[in-house]
Chain A
Amino acid sequence: MKIQIKAALILAACMAAFTSSLFAQLAIPSDGSDGALVISTDTVIDLSQAVTGNWTNNNTANVGKGIYDPNQWAVVFKYSSITIAPNATVTFLNHPTHAPVVWLVSSDATINGTISLDGQSWNAVTPNLNEPGPGGFRGGFKSQSGFGVGGGFGPGGYYGDSGSYSTYHSYGNEQIIPLIGGSGGGGWASCSGNYNGGAGGGAILIAASGTITFNGYCHANGGNGVFDGGWAFCHYQVDSFNGSGGAIKMIANQILGNGSIEAVGGSADAGSYPGRIRLEANTTSSALTLNPSTPAVLPNPLVIWPAATAPTVQVVSVSGTAAPADPKASMFGNGDDILIAQTNAVVIQLQTANFPTSGTVSVFIKPLTGAQSILPASFVSGNSGAAIWQVTTVLPLNHTVIQALAVSN
């Protein structure tokens, strides 16, 4: 009799634990104002259709198109639920700022299809730079008449090298906060031709209050460069370089299923560097396939966005011309963020916040065509709360992308 009672108690405790996990809800901040995302056929989500505003705004007036929040640098969709059918693939058209994608789901997400955030690979008809997945960075430019090739863009993009993210020239963190994608591979030229570098994989956060049932395939892989070893004068010559893998992050009470999640570098025969994957759930299926492999963790504390006190760095001005608060870094189309006409050295001013003044602020100067340079910025004034730094250098003519990386000592 005692044994029976004991067994019943244990069973009840197990059931209580199971049902509490089953029905528990995470406090995902989604009002569901983008409605239910139901994908049954191949679908392209145009991120440029997002209205610009605060991500917390109710989006019923622009339902299904998301909100681009410049402060978070993200296109945020607040879905009530997500259902992606098998054999259906979701891809994205980039927002002009190349911002990453955030799906906040107020209930459950069932993903049996494919979500692709791959960086663009080289192809013969690419006129400009290879586009990254949303949140990633572009590949380097191919050589043009009179100009050299360009390095890959992003913090892990280098001249004449493949882009990297979680390894090699690593940046970011395993929490993937802030959400950021992979870097582009460098462009290159050989006697066989001129080739753009593969772009970096994108970045996506899928956060559901309930359960993410994932039996599909989500990938944010780097774009391929070109390897051509068969030409008479180009034996084993790398012609352009791979983009790195991007970032995929899922948060839910439960992440179930046996799907595949992938964030790897491009597959050309050059360096190939992975991105990041992060799973946060109270219960996580062990049948999921992750590449790169990463352990799942509990969603405690639940963190969607960087804290207000998180360190930041931004380019404030170049040659006295203020940089826009929401730069696009477009070197084509609507043009660049800043226009200058200088052959002399110019001052690039930067601002850090919540960052120790004893740290190192590096400024990446990446011309569209030509080798990049990485310059250490000098501390000018301020404190760890807010500080001004600057670099003085001669900027090449034509288009150049400037990006800063601040790392404490």
Chain B
Amino acid sequence: MNPCEHSSERLNHPVRHSPRRWRACPALLPLLFLLLTRLLSFGQTYEAVSREISVFNFGTPFPSVEAISREVSVFNFGASFPSVEAVSREVSVFNFGAVFPSVEAISREVSVFNYRVPPLGFSVGSTNILGTEINQVPFTFLTLLDLTNLSLTLQADDSHLQILGVTPVSPEVVSVALGTVSSNGHPIAFTLNSGAIPATTHVLAWLNFQGITNLDSAIVPLIITHSTATRASGQVVPVATANGQVILIMTNSILVASAKPQFGITLYGLPGATYAIETTTNLALPDWQELERLFQGGPILPITGLTNTAAQQFYRTKQVGP
């Protein structure tokens, strides 16, 4: 700062600004005063030479405007340690997200049985009854499947047989329901324990029935229809079925031929009666010839020793004894 200027400003502060000449530096005032005094006192021309005064207007800054700081060493190591090397911990990353590293998927094994004959057999048996006898035939069952349900419809001639019920036998039968008879027959539904099914052919249940006497003797077929089975998985599988029959004897006898193991005839008749066995080779011109007379000791009378010499041979029987 210039002290002269400072002084000038201080003097001039409360008053109006003075002309510039009055703003000389106060340090020069004594010299000016001496010079005026000399001039006023003698009124003559004197030569006076002032001492040389050197004036150095050094302005606002100091003479040396250069400043040099001390050396300061600066090492910019930022946020890290002086050693700028940093090694992270190892991190193992296993990306098992949407796609595996090998991008591979393996399915479960599924086994398929492509069959010609369904691996599930169900049949109803055969028998014969006299008059109003009560009797039963077996429902025979064979499967290796894990079945939980088995349903079927049994067609039987209601004019000859009255279906009484179904009695479960095998341990896998949880329950059995005999539904109301309709035009299709008798609906029967088994509920099974899939884990308790024997692996061999076995009797699943008995079908109980009774003969009806208001008609004559008859062979009453027992026909299974609408049979399906359900596995534990829910899969519905078909059932291979075999039908049965009931030979109902009222008054007339019935002959049933069999071919295996060899030709033979079985006579179903009234026990205690005597029957004549007759044969012919032409039904258009019947010429029945009696072969033999047989006493029916029981409900079934096998007739053996028959020899057929013609291209076709017909047999009949009629009761000849009491």
Residues of B within 8 Å of A, CB-based: how many?
38
A403 and B106: CB pair below 8 A? yes
Interface residues of B in 53-107 (CB under 8 A from A): 91-92, 94, 96-107
Query: CB distance A398 to B144 under 8 Å?
Result: no
B90 to chain A, nearest CB (A): 9
Contact A339 B113 (CB under 8 A): yes
State the Cβ distance, B227 to closest chain A Cβ, in Å: 15
Question: In the complex, A309→B104 CA distance in Å?
Answer: 13
Known: A171-B104, A173-B100, A354-B99. A303 touches B111 (CB 8 A): no
A342 and B114 form a contact (CB under 8 A): yes
Which one of B110, B146, B199 contacts A402 once the chains associate, using CB atoms below 8 Å? B110
| B237 contact set on A, CB distance < 8 A | 339
B108 adjacent to chain A (CB < 8 Å): yes
Q: Roughly how many angstroms separate A326 CA and B235 CA in the complex, as a whole number?
A: 13
Known: A322-B235, A405-B106. A399 touches B111 (CB 8 A): yes
Min CB gap A246→B, angstroms: 14
* Residues on the B chain within 8 Å of A306, using CB: 96, 100
Q: Report Cα–Cα, A297/B237, bound state, in Å.
A: 51
Residue B46, interface by CB 8 Å: no
- Find A327's partner among B104, B111, B116 (CB 8 Å cutoff): B111
Give the size category of A's interface with B. 35 or more
Given A154-B109, A315-B108, A405-B106, 17 new contacts (CB under 8 A): A298-B92, A306-B96, A309-B98, A311-B103, A313-B106, A324-B235, A334-B146, A337-B110, A338-B113, A338-B235, A397-B115, A400-B112, A400-B114, A403-B107, A404-B106, A406-B106, A407-B104
Within the complex, which residue of A155, A334, A341 is in contact with B145, where a contact is CB–CB below 8 Å? A334
Majority secondary structure of chain A interface residues (helix, strand, loop or mixed): loop
Bound: A298/B94 CA distance, A: 11
Smallest Cβ-Cβ distance to A330: which chain B residue: B111
Nearest residue (CB) in A for B103 is A408
The 5 A-B pairs of least Cβ separation, nearest first, read A408-B103, A329-B109, A336-B113, A324-B233, A404-B107
In the bound assembly, the distance between CA atoms of A406 and B96 in angstroms comes to: 16
A312 at the interface (CB under 8 A from B): yes
In this assembly, does B194 line the interface, its C-beta being within 8 Å of a C-beta of chain A?
yes
Return chain A residues, CB-CB under 8 Å to B231: 335
Q: Complex: how many Å from CA A175 to CA B101?
A: 10
- A161-B102 Cα distance, complex, nearest whole Å: 24
Is A356 a contact of B111 with CB atoms below 8 Å? Answer: no
Q: Which A residue sits closest to B99, measured CB to CB? A: A311
> Quick check: is A172 within 8 A (CB to CB) of the other chain?
yes
- Residues on A with C-beta less than 8 A from B233 are 324, 337
| B223-245 to A contact mask, C-beta < 8 Å, 1/0 | 00000000101110110000000
Q: Which residues B133-149 have CB closer than 8 A to chain A?
A: 143-146
Task: Name B90's closest neighbour in chain A (CB-CB).
Answer: A298
Q: Are B112 and A337 in contact (CB under 8 A)?
A: yes
Give the residues in chain B near A356, CB-CB below 8 Å: 99, 103
Q: Determine which residue in B97, B107, B235, B237 has the highest number of CB atoms from chain A within 10 A of its CB, and name it.
A: B107
- Please give me the residue from chain A that is nearest to B101 by CB atom: A173
Asked if B119 lies at the interface with its beta carbon under 8 angstroms from chain A, I say yes
Across the interface, do A339 and B99 meet the contact criterion of CB distance under 8 Å?
Answer: no
Which residue in chain A gives the minimum CB-CB distance to B113? A336
Decide yes or no whether A307 CB sits under 8 A from chain B: yes
Most buried by A among B146, B199, B238: B146
Question: Are the CB atoms of A403 and B100 closer together than 8 Å?
Answer: no
Q: Known A298-B92, A303-B96; judge A318-B107 contact (CB<8 A).
A: no
Complex contacts, B103 vs chain A, CB 8 Å: 311, 355-356, 359, 407-408
**B112–A177 CB distance below 8 A:** no
- In the complex, the chain B residue whose C-beta lies closest to that of A366 is B109
Q: What CA separation (Å) do A97 and B108 show in the bound complex?
A: 9
What distance in Å separates the Cβ of A300 from its nearest Cβ neighbour in chain B? 5
A406 to B106, CA, bound (A): 6
A171 contacts which chain B residues (CB < 8 A)?
104, 106
CB closest residue in chain A, given B108: A327
Task: Tell whether, in the assembled complex, residue B112 and residue A395 are in contact, meaning their CB atoms are under 8 Å apart.
Answer: yes
Q: How far is the CB of A74 from chain B (nearest CB, A)?
A: 12
> Do B112 and A335 have beta carbons less than 8 Å apart?
no
- The answer to whether B92 and A338 touch across the interface, beta carbons within 8 angstroms, is no
Contacts of A399 in B (CB 8 A): 111-113
Give A298's nearest chain B residue, CB to CB: B92
> Do A175 and B96 have beta carbons less than 8 Å apart?
yes
Pairwise interchain contact B92-A350, C-beta atoms closer than 8 A: no
A310→B114 contact, CB < 8 A:
no
Using A307-B96, A309-B97, A309-B98 as known contacts, say yes or no to A334 and B114 having CB atoms under 8 A apart.
no
